[in-house]
Amino acid sequence: MSRTITGLHLSASRSVLVNDGFRYVREIRGERDAVLELVAVVDGIAIDGVDLIRWDDAGEITDFKVMVRPRRAVALVRQKVAEMLKLLG
């Protein structure tokens, strides 16, 4: 995925998830990777998730993965991110 597309997806995901109900609750950090546990509420649905992040020697992110649950939260986030991408794209 290109940097531009990745940036759009991250921007859309942030717009959907980051609100008054969003917060990081735990961080597990290694030398070149981290796991950030998050909670959020979107449209009344409680979301649990993790950000998996890896970076290189220069500090540049080389891999970024977001996983959320429960299943209905996945569907909601997917729908809202798709809507946001239409607005951003």
Q: How far, in Å, CA of 80 to CA of 53, rounded?
A: 23
pTM metric for this prediction: 0.80
What is the tally of structural domains in the chain?
1
Distance CA 18, CA 14 (A): 5
Token pair belonging to 80: 């809202």
Amino acid at position 40, single letter: A
- Confidence (pLDDT) at 5: 76
CATH of residue 49's domain is: 3.10.450.50
pLDDT confidence of residue 12: 83
Is residue 59 within 8 Å of 79, Cβ to Cβ?
A: no
Where in the sequence is the domain holding 65, given as residue range(s)? 3-88
Point out the residues of the chain with pLDDT beneath 70.
1-2, 88-89
Write down the pLDDT at residue 1: 57
Give the per-residue pLDDT at 89: 62
